[in-house]
Structure formats: structure tokens, C-alpha cells
Amino acid sequence: MRTNRGAIWVSVIALFLGFAAVTQVHSQDVFSRSLNLETPSSLTTLIANLSETNNELRNEIFDVRRDVADAQDSVSSGKGTLTEAERQVAQLRVFSAQSAVAGPGIAVRIEGQFDERALSDLVNELRNAGAEAIAVNDMRVGPKSFFTGTADHSIAVDGRPLRGPWMVRAIGSPDVVYVAMTRTGGIIGQFELIYRTTRFAVTKETALDLPAQLVASR
Amino acid sequence: MTASPAPQKRRLSHSLVLLVPAVLFGLLVTLQWRTQAERSELSVRYNAPLIDAANALQNEQNDLKTQLAELRRRLDEIQRNASSQSGAARELQTRLDQLKASAGLTPESGDGVIVQLDDARNVSVSARDVDKSICHATDLTDIINTAWKGGAQAIAVNDERVVNSSSVYCVGSTIMVNGTLMSPPFNIAAIGPQNSMLGAFDDPNQLQDIKQRRDVQGLGFRVSRASAVHVPAYSGALNVRFAEPH
């Protein structure tokens, strides 16, 4: 009788241990991010993003390979590499917000309550959609730009307060950036639910003119 | 104690014999229960090929980045050799070097801070709070914003340099920085004035949400002073297709 009772207790404890072991493995699964946990729809989006990045890399490799060939030709013909270097300087000045730029894109007009974190998220979303140059009102956003709140509930970019209504302009493919902002479940849709009294107007623009960043680089 | 040690030992060994099958049984019951609970949610059919495709693309991306870095290095070498020929060329080369550095195309090292961000581990969190116990893309953008505010000169997230085109993107529970797949823990390395950056992170008005989730849900968030912080060069594309300088 005693033996049986002991065995029952051991079994109960063992059952519990078995349960605990599996639950432990399971709860670690919940917190360890791996692709295994993604839905097919998320995986498809990830794959589209990876493909896009890889295509951009392939284009850039093609361009730089041409630059290398051009530079070699220039050197061997005794011309020096000034032309290639000038082209690179122009590209890097645009890339790092040090020159004023023109081009097509979109504009987002924000009228009403808004804050610095939402503006930072909007800029992140625009960059993610491939925006090449971004300005808030008349301030160009640069590589080290930061967004803060001001005492009077306004927004400051790089420490300079900007009053609403805010106009966020971004140069890039108008169609791609427009769709990325306004798609169902996109950032503008989310903003409209969170800032219910604020008006958001997104428009495609054929010609935008953005200034260079004020403080070139700190 | 009247019982002799012998039967007690036998009882114990009986119990031990039962222990192994009982644990196995417990495992099986629980596994079965779990499988039944989750089978319907998982889209088993499509996941394996999609995961393979994603991994293959990420590997391809790493190769492409290596190729691009090598081509950039060769171009730089040719230009550097040629620039010794004339004063104008030397001046242009200096200008190019400065621009590359400010655009994030050169590696940097120096004193700074390291911010570690991680999902809550080994903490039992209710299902309702799971969302608060894991890292989100917005946590990374908030941390990067705070580092720039504190005067950072160069920032990298898990060795991906943060440049003007950088974005943090979240799909499902996977995060991408510069179009590269990442998973927690995240190491945000920032080079710059240490006291000013630590001050920005300590400011109670900054990162309130992250700090609260660290205290309540056990989110991993730690800021530390670090010397000889290394931040690699940006290895991605410099897409300038629509913007024309003027």
C-alpha cells in the first residue's frame, strides 16, 4: 500500500515535471524571435523587402563597377579621375542632405494635434518607402536629425521649434511613397485613428524643392 | 525507525523505475495538447519554402554587400593614387573623404555608449502583456533619436550603420534595419560625448515607455558607458534616383 502511494506521488510529480519541461520550451519559443513564428503573409512581406534591398545593391554594384572602369580609363589616358570624383561628391552631398534638391515625391500636410514621436515614425516610414530627401516645413532632415517636444506642445527638429500645421515633403517615387503611406493599415491610417481630430492630407507632387540641411554636420 | 533499510531502498528503486516512463508520459500528453491547440493556427504548408527563400535572400544580400564594399575600396584606391597628381585633385579628394565620413561610409571608433535592448527573458508574462515584453521597431527609433539628441556622431544597430536613408522596419515580429533581417538582442553602439548621451538616456522625459516596460514587464534595456566603441561603415546602396541637386 505504501509503495503504491509513493509511486502515485512520484508519477504526479513526474507528470508535472514533464508538463513543466514542455511549457518551458514553449514559453521560450514565444520570446525568441525566429522566422518560424511568422505567418506566410509576414514572410512574403519580408521577402519582398529583402528582394528590393538586393535589387538596389545590384544596381549600385553595376554603377560602381562602371565608375571603377571609367576611373581606370581616365587614369590610363592621363586625364586623372576628377570627373568620377565630382560625380561622387554630388551624389554624397544629396545623400547626406548637404545640397538643396529638386524632384518628384509626396507631401503630407498635418493640421491639429501631433507629437515628436509620431513625426519621427512618419520620417522612418518615408525612408523605408525609399524617400531620398525629406523636409519638415522648411527644415531638411539630415542623417543625425532628432525630434523633440517643446514646452508649448509643439515639435522641434534638431532643436529648432516648428509650428503646425506641419508640411512634411519627401522626394522619391511618388507612386511608391504615396501607396506606402496611404495603404490600408498604413501609418496615415493609424494616425487617423490615434489623432482623431487631426487632419492628414497626402498628395503626390511632380516638383518639390527642398533646402539643404541648416547645420551641415555636427 | 523500525523498518530495515532494505525494503525502503527497494521502494525507492521501484519509484525510480516508474519515474522515467511517467516523465515521458507527461511530455507526450503536453506535446499532444499543444499540437492540437496550435495546428490550426500554423500554416505549415507555406512556411518552410518561404523561410528558405528569406534565408537565401539574406545570404545573397551579405554577398552583394561584400562585393559592393570591395568595388568601393577599389574605386577609392584608384582615385587616391590619381589625386596625388594635381592640387585640384588633392583638394577634391579631401572633400570626398569628408563627405564619405559625414555620410557614414567610413568606419569609426571612439568612446561612447552601448545600449542593449532585448525581449523579456525567463519572466512569466500574461498573454495580454506579451506585446509589452518584446522589442518593437519604435523602441529602436526612439533609442536612436535619443542618441542623436545626446550628440552622437555615429550609430550602428547590430553592426548596421545608421545613415540618412536608414529605416527600422517591422514585419510580424521580425525587425529589419537597412533592409537586413535582425532579431533581438539589439546592441545600439553610439560614438560621441559620453556624459551628454548618458544624460539624454537618463532624462526621465525620454524613453518613458521603454523604462516602464523594463520595470514592469522585464524588458531588457541597459545603457552603459563604453570605450573604443566600433561602428562599421554603411555597406548598403546610396539610392539617389529622383533627387537632383541644384
Q: Which residue among B15, B71, B100 places its CB closest to the CB of A6?
A: B15
Looking at CA atoms only, how far is residue B138 from chain A in angstroms? 7
The residue extents of the domains of chain A are 1-32, 38-94, 101-210
Using the Cβ of B17 and the Cβ atoms of chain A, whether some distance falls under 8 Å is answered with no
Out of B64, B100, B133, the one facing A92 most closely (by C-beta) is: B100
pLDDT tens for B84-143 read 777 888 888 999 999 999 999 999 999 999 999 999 886 666 666 788 888 999 999 999
Question: B126: buried, middle or exposed (CB in 10 Å: 19+, 13-18, 0-12)?
Answer: exposed
A34-66 per-residue burial string, b: 16 or more CB within 10 A, e: under 16 = ebeebbbebbbbbbebbbebbebbeebbebbee
State whether the Cα torsion A44-B171-B117-A35 is positive or negative.
negative
Question: Is B119's Cβ below 8 Å from some Cβ in A?
Answer: yes
Query: Residues 6 or more apart from A25 whose CB is under 8 A from it?
Result: none
Asked if A105 has any chain B CB less than 8 Å from its own CB, the reply is yes
Find chain A residues with C-beta within 8 A of B179's C-beta: 49-50, 52-53, 56
**Span A101-210 CATH architecture:** 2-Layer Sandwich (3.30)
Region A29-43: mean pLDDT is 69
Could you tell me the pTM of the whole model?
A: 0.81
pLDDT (tens, 9 = 90+) of chain B, 246 residues, equals 444 445 555 555 666 666 666 667 766 666 665 554 444 445 567 788 898 999 999 999 999 999 999 999 999 999 888 877 778 888 889 999 999 999 999 999 999 999 999 998 866 666 667 888 889 999 999 999 999 999 999 999 999 999 999 999 988 778 999 999 998 899 999 999 999 999 999 999 899 999 999 998 889 999 999 999 999 999 999 989 999 998
Q: Is A170 on the interface with B (CB under 8 A)?
A: no
Instruction: Report the distance separating Cα B96 and Cα A152, nearest Å.
Output: 42
The Cβ of residue A190 has, within 10 Å, a number of other Cβ atoms equal to 13
B42 vs A53: CA distance, rounded Å: 28
Instruction: Closest CB to B245: pick one of A23, A101, A173.
Output: A101
